[in-house]
Amino acid sequence: MYLAVRDIKKSYGENESYIQVLKGISTNLEAGKMCVIQGSSGSGKSTLLNCIGGLDPVDSGSICVDGKEIVGLSPQLLSDYRRACLGFVFQFYNLVPNLTVKENIQVCEYLAKQPLSMDELLETLGLTQHQNKFPSQLSGGQQQRCAIARALIKNPRLLLCDEPTGALDSETSRDILILLDEINKKYKTTMLIVTHNNSIKNMVHKVILIKDGQIHREYDNENRIPPALLEDL
């Protein structure tokens, strides 16, 4: 099992402001699978992703990624884990405005031991002809593709996406989802994707529904629908 989450609990604040956000979450994901996490706003989706990504410490429980326990790691080892294993994609692209597309991606390329080929990645993401542009010269979808390329250049084994299409129109969202599917096939990247986008449920291997900090339902898709065939997103 690539990812094994066992009974994780996470709270914020103290006394009157105390809130338990994750109330004992357990789940698994096999290597190379795409998983969607859904749930209403405030249900704990981002918190779960941030805990798995080592950005936020849990109160208790266990998170094993590729056989390694990440709960309780020192800040240095957590930072090594993020650098070696993870790619992050957020709703807002967080590109560096005064760097070009290629330079934005290069920033992460330098961190990697065995980066992917820049030219191949630019091509896969449809960015070849935009590589020397600045973020402000790109559409939202192009900026998100650049952010995805930046997350992927180091060939992370686990890609964590928090509402990657949240700021995009439906057609562009579909393009991004098709792209994530292609990347999953091509690079065998394991993916956890938080999204409000409903049809995406049909194209991924696994779906997790979170309600009020707990897993309400989870299931595997026996028959996946390729994203290109999805009509409405």
Ligand X SMILES: Nc1ncnc2c1ncn2[C@@H]1O[C@H](COP(=O)(O)OP(=O)(O)O)[C@@H](O)[C@H]1O
Residues lying near ligand X in the complex (CB under 6 A) are found at 12-13, 19, 21, 39, 41-47
Burial class (CB in 10 A: 0-12, 13-18, 19+), 64: middle
165 binding Mg ion? (CB under 5 A): no
Nearer to ligand X, 47 or 104 (CB): 47
Nearer to ligand X, 13 or 72 (CB): 13
Identify what 72 binds: Mg ion, ligand X, none; CB under 5 to 8 Å per kind: none
How do 206-211 and 190-194 pair as beta strands?
Answer: unpaired
Identify what 47 binds: ligand X, Mg ion, none; CB under 5 to 8 Å per kind: ligand X
**Tell me, what amino acid is at 157?**
R
CB of 209 to ligand X, least distance (A): 11
CB of 50 to Mg ion, least distance (A): 9
Residue nearest Mg ion, Cβ-based: 46
**Interface of this chain with Mg ion, residues 33 to 62, rule: CB under 5 A:** 46
Nearer to ligand X, 46 or 173 (CB): 46
Q: In angstroms, what CA-CA distances link 201 with 96, 159, 208, 211?
A: 32, 17, 9, 16
Q: Which of 57, 60, 68, 53 is nearest to 25 (CA)?
A: 60
Identify what 21 binds: Mg ion, ligand X, none; CB under 5 to 8 Å per kind: ligand X
CB of 166 to Mg ion, least distance (A): 9
Nearer to ligand X, 52 or 138 (CB): 52
Q: Which of 105, 107, 153 is nearest to 130 (CA)?
A: 105
How do 86-89 and 68-69 pair as beta strands?
Answer: unpaired
- How big is the chain by its Cα radius of gyration, in Å? 17
CB of 21 to ligand X, least distance (A): 4
**Tell me, what amino acid is at 26?**
S
